[in-house]
Amino acid sequence: MVGLRELKKERTGRRIAEQALRLFAERGFEDVTMGEVARASEVARATLFAYYPTKESLVLAGVAGDDLAATVADRPDGQSALAALRAHHRALAAGPVAAADLPALLTRVRVIQASPALRAAADSLRYRQRQALADVLSAEHGETAGTLMAAQIAASLAALQERHFARLVAGTPAEQADRMLAEDLELAFDLLEHGHSGTREQ
């Protein structure tokens, strides 16, 4: 059971993120300071930085992907890296975004798309995730093979995420976008596992 202290911390973190996103959407990411976010959230600057150490982290949490390296490193014995990643992302795709969360998600995506600094930060985060995955795969398959495998996997997953967000921003109903993401996910892992020979454009 979550204690009152943990629940209060969770609510504070959510309030900070919500206020930051509102300000960024209204005025642009670059034109809002951390001090303004703290005042809007009714917290001290020290509290703000304890929750979010950088301005970019206010927006990128939960958007730039998850820990691919951990998914591979913690997989059951006998399961391939691709099988573990497919199962993990299949489960994520099966959990649709709650209707109440969708407007916030779309606002977050638009704020990122409008900000060169946030796009660069997201790219940097994905690069670090890819390098961590490469380290895990290199330990099993050798450095060259591990690096190439990680690059292919990370690029495919990033493309799926971008395509999914683009559909949502364009107005595709969430349930339909989720179904399309699930289909794209299976295709992506089929291509990663078997290559593109014999496939037809979807």
- Please report which confidence band the pLDDT of residue 96 belongs to, taking 50, 70 and 90 as the band edges: low
Q: List the one residue out of 24, 9, 48 whose CA is nearest residue 115.
A: 24
Q: Specify the pLDDT at position 202.
A: 46
Q: Specify the pLDDT at position 103.
A: 87
Domain ranges of the chain: 4-58, 62-194
What's the rounded mean pLDDT across residues 48-55?
A: 94
* Fold assignment, 4-58: Arc Repressor Mutant, subunit A (1.10.10)
Lowest mean pLDDT among 4-18, 23-37, 62-76, 116-130: 62-76
130-153 burial code (b ≥16 CB/10 A, e <16): bebbbebbbeeeeeeebbebbeeb
Q: List the one residue out of 136, 161, 134, 147 whose CA is nearest residue 60.
A: 161
Above 60 in pLDDT, residue 73?
yes
pLDDT tens digits, one per residue of 129-156: 999 999 999 999 999 999 999 999 999 9
What is the torsional sign of CA 52, 58, 62, 63?
Answer: negative
Above 60 in pLDDT, residue 162?
yes
Q: What DSSP character marks residue 31?
A: G
Q: Specify the pLDDT at position 5.
A: 82
Q: Specify the pLDDT at position 99.
A: 56
The overall average pLDDT reported for the chain is 89
